[in-house]
Structure 1
Amino acid sequence: MAVTTPPAPTRPSRPSSVGKGTSTTAKLLRLNWFGGIAGWIWLVIGMLPIYWIVISSFKSQSNFFATNPLLPPDEWTLDSYRLVIESDFIRYFGNSVVVTVGAIVPAVLISFMAAFAIVRGGNGWFLRLSNSLFLMGLAIPLQAVIIPVYLIIIRLRLYDTLTAMILPSIAFAIPLSVLVLSNFIRDVPRELFESMRLDGCSEWGTMWRLAFPLTRPALVTVTIYNALGVWNNFLLPLILTQNPDRRTLPLALWTFQGQYGVNVPAVLASVVLTTLPILVFYAVGRRQLLSGLTAGFGK
């Protein structure tokens, strides 16, 4: 009778540290070191002017010319900001807020309703013609029609008023807003609209109860984009206003540059105060803005 001997016990194999080292090395080699270094260099180049503007605005006029431009001031001072605020900056800021809000709110609402009508209104010739006119408006820059706009404002007797800047801003903000919002509304599933209709909701109610909440990222996107354009607009205030009390911040910044041509810290302080509201506005709507810009890429 043959006797079978049990096999010798095998020791459990220990995990080799060579594999970990190899995978870590491979990951490091796959990293785009050149792209990362180039990105940091580009960030430094982009932030350097902003850094110079901010630290120079806290310098005195004598300290600005006596010290290194890239070094922080020896004595931090708010004299430049005080000078700018005392030079009717609050009035110019209020004018910019009125023009921006007065132009963006009607433009976004009109664009949303027009985009909803174009998408949900069928294939009628009137809607196709309206969509073509909106697309044609994208090809017309403001500089090309500033003379007709000026003549129309004169005929309407609106020259040297804030309304003279609001009306053209609305007209030039609508085409791009309609294009963005109509493409976003097309991405809303048709079944949602049909279910709302089966529940007895009208087209008007469907637009405000369904389409409006679902297109919030696109609405924030066009709002921020158009607000930046209206806030920084220089040509319309320059052509359509004459009274200093009707100036907006970009035009007031130009006058500060002429009035304080030697006082560079005062000019830079006005630049900081002009840019600060836009930065705050962007920080508040950044998440919705990115969501609206990237919508549709993963579909």
Structure 2
Amino acid sequence: MSTQHVTTTPVAAPGPGGPRPPVSAPRRRRPLRARLRRRPNLLAGVLATIWLILVAGPLYYMISSSLRSRSDYLSGNPLAPPSSPTLENYWTVLEGGFTRYLFNNVVVTVATVLIVVGLAVPAAYAIARSTSRLVQRGFTLLLAGLAIPAQATIIPVYLLITRMNLYDSLTAIILPTAAFALPVGTLVLTNSLRDVPRELYEAQAIDGAGAFRVLRHLVLPLARPAIVTVVIFTSLTAWNGFLFPLVLTQSESTRVLTLGLWNFQGQFGTNVPALLAAVTLSVLPIFVVYLIGRRFLLSGLTAGFGK
């Protein structure tokens, strides 16, 4: 014999003026954060659109003008799309020695990045883990380099480079560029490594890991966003460097892109499309580096500043 459960809905007792309507549960209000998310932020949208126009406008002008012929650029509307796109300007630039300047720039940038990362990672590890007052004083002294502009040291740097017989070589550009990028790289990596919980270091020590093993298996994987940030920052510094190549080199074989673009400006003084083609080619490599590491950039820059 089966029993059936009958669910009954309670009915409110009738009042003196007639039956009362059924009492419903009060509606729960959404949290303020959820309601704000549903509202469109018009101010942020307008500002983002303005920023997009400010960034995309020069890029569009540079690329579209580099695809124009010289006569089309002078006679047509510079903001209109090119009527007959051509790659003649790019061939002109490549035949004018651009590949040699590009190769020198790549050598300077890669060597500078390797020096900065190779020195900043162990230095930041020592600073983050050591409690020695001497180490902390050394870190403070290193950070003092952030307040010294390169222009103020160009004469001592020139004297050092000439005394070391490195003048007019790519090494003369690499060493001072790495020296001025090292304080920022060490600062970013130190702040990142200070976020690593102390328990992880203690667990590695219990397992019998030495300092080199901890650096390899713990520090390097956890500091990857900060390392990518240092690589991008150092690459931008070395790629766009102008002062040290200008003062410490003079021959055509050691000329980098920044001096090469300066040379193109004189060589193609009235040929603006060819000059913009050279600028476009010089921007592409560093833009690719930024696209590869952009998702690590923000987390690496903000590491350690939340405490």
| TM-score, with length taken from structure 2 | 0.86
Q: Highest CA radius of gyration, 1 or 2?
A: 2
Aligned equivalents of 1:68 and 1:206: distance in 2? 61
Deviations 1:137-159 (A, max 9, x none): 11111111011111110111100
Q: CA deviation at 1:294?
A: 3.7
| Residue of structure 2 equivalent to 1:239 | 247
Deviating runs (4+, > 6 A) in structure 1?
A: 6-13, 26-29
> Closer, same or farther in 2 for the Cα pair 1:223/1:27, shift >3 Å?
closer
| Residue of structure 1 equivalent to 2:76 | 67
| 2:87 alignment partner AA | L
Aligned equivalents of 1:28 and 1:179: distance in 2? 36
Aligned equivalents of 1:184 and 1:42: distance in 2? 30
Of residues 171, 182, 185 in structure 2, which corresponds to 1:177?
Answer: 185
Of residues 39, 43, 60 in structure 1, which corresponds to 2:52?
Answer: 43
Q: Does residue 267 of the first structure (1) align with residue 298 of the second (2)? A: no
Q: CA deviation at 1:41?
A: 2.2
8 Å contact kept, 2:188–2:303: no
Sequence identity percentage: 50
Number of residue-to-residue matches in the alignment: 284
> Closer, same or farther in 2 for the Cα pair 1:123/1:256, shift >3 Å?
same
Of residues 207, 219, 224 in structure 2, which corresponds to 1:199?
Answer: 207
| Residue of structure 2 equivalent to 1:278 | 286
Aligned equivalents of 1:138 and 1:298: distance in 2? 22
Q: CA deviation at 1:286?
A: 1.0
- Secondary structure (helix, strand or coil) at the match of 1:223 reads helix
Structure 2 unaligned segments of length 5 or more: list them.
Answer: 1-9, 13-18, 24-28, 30-34
Of residues 10, 15, 32 in structure 1, which corresponds to 2:41?
Answer: 32
Say which is worse superposed, 36-45 or 94-103, in terms of deviation.
36-45
Aligned equivalents of 1:294 and 1:129: distance in 2? 24
| 1:128 alignment partner AA | Q
Aligned equivalents of 2:58 and 2:239: distance in 1? 21
| Residue of structure 2 equivalent to 1:131 | 139
Structure 1 unaligned segments of length 5 or more: list them.
Answer: 1-5, 14-18, 20-25
**1:162-173 counterparts in 2 under 5 A?**
162-173=170-181
Aligned equivalents of 1:57 and 1:10: distance in 2? 80
8 Å contact kept, 2:120–2:185: yes
- Secondary structure (helix, strand or coil) at the match of 1:285 reads helix
- Secondary structure (helix, strand or coil) at the match of 1:242 reads coil
Q: CA deviation at 1:47?
A: 1.3
**1:1-299 counterparts in 2 under 5 A?**
30-125=39-134, 127-296=135-304
Q: CA deviation at 1:296?
A: 4.5
Deviations 1:25-47 (A, max 9, x none): x8799433233223212311221
8 Å contact kept, 2:113–2:178: yes
> Closer, same or farther in 2 for the Cα pair 1:131/1:61, shift >3 Å?
same
| TM-score, with length taken from structure 1 | 0.88
Q: CA deviation at 1:132?
A: 1.5
Deviations 1:144-192 (A, max 9, x none): 1011111110111100000000110111111111111111111100010
